[in-house]
Amino acid sequence: MKSEALTNPHLFLKEYREKLESLSYRKIRHGKLTDNLIIEEKALPCEGGEKPKSYLLKKDGYKLIKSRNPSLLIPYLEWEIFHAYIDEISEDFSVFHAASIVKDGKAILLVGESGKGKTTLTVSLVKRGFRYLSDDLSAIHPVTLKVLPTPKAVHLKGESMEFFPSLSPEFVAVPYPDGFFPGFKKALCCFPTKDILPALDTDFSIHLILFLRRCEAIELQLAPKSQAAAQFFAYSYNRALKDFNTAMQLAQKTPAFFIPVGELSSTCLTIERLFKGEIDV
């Protein structure tokens, strides 16, 4: 994503749409992801000098945001375009609420509901050398059981922002409008740079499935295959039959663990040791 696109909503819409359309996972008609989005500009009254502008973003004719700051339209555009893309590919692929990262061609899925630490762990592990696939919605091929890159922006909010004084060079951030996420006054929309993205036309075998648990009373546990399948299917995007089959097959062939999420660096170290096969459970 060019840096100028993060301050120009027209350019962002064009570049982000084309980026997603170019992925080979599913043929998407040109413009389909953005047909219902309209950006309007209006020059504001001003005495002398360059006239300020007002920017209005509409979806299906309804106002999403109006602002003099064009950068504030970017998070809305990213959200709408990306979720339209996920709706398209979920017809052919199994999509799950799971973060995904990869190293040495082997992927890890971090599975958990909102607030369980998926995004914070994902960013931290990327900063420790993993490559980024997704921080929330991961697409899995129902036949090969490989995970595909779904290059969405990372949404950092609340306490998660405090863990990362600097997001560079892995991410470039623009602020969300205040109150974009209920309960959080401030949030950042963080776009992954090309340095942390794998080739977007590749897919990866899943090496580990980790179910995140915010409970210090539990220890790292190997999940029984039947329980892993049921837990994983519970996080499917569409709850379709193909998603059930994907969850069953993946649980049969992939080690799955319940992992307590505690102090960030300690949790990351446990994940790295599991990935390397240094922990017997």
Give the chain's count of helices (H) and strands (E).
Answer: 6, 14
> Cα–Cα distances in Å, from 196 out to 55, 168, 267?
32, 11, 21
Residue 25's pLDDT is: 65
pLDDT at 50: 66
Dihedrals phi, psi of 49, to nearest 5 degrees: 70, -170
Residues of the chain with pLDDT under 50: none
What confidence score (pLDDT) does residue 209 get? 98
Listed by start position, the domains of the chain span 1-89, 94-281
39 contacts 73 by C-beta, under 8 angstroms: yes
Ramachandran region of residue 32, left (φ > 0), alpha (ψ -120 to 50) or beta? alpha
* pLDDT at residue 256, rounded to an integer: 97
H-only helix segments in 24-144: 74-89, 118-127
CATH topology of domain 94-281: Rossmann fold (3.40.50)
Tabulate helix, strand, coil % of the chain (nearest 5): 35, 30, 40
pLDDT of residue 185: 81
pLDDT at 258: 94
Tokens, residue 161: 């922002």
The predicted structure's pLDDT at residue 48: 60
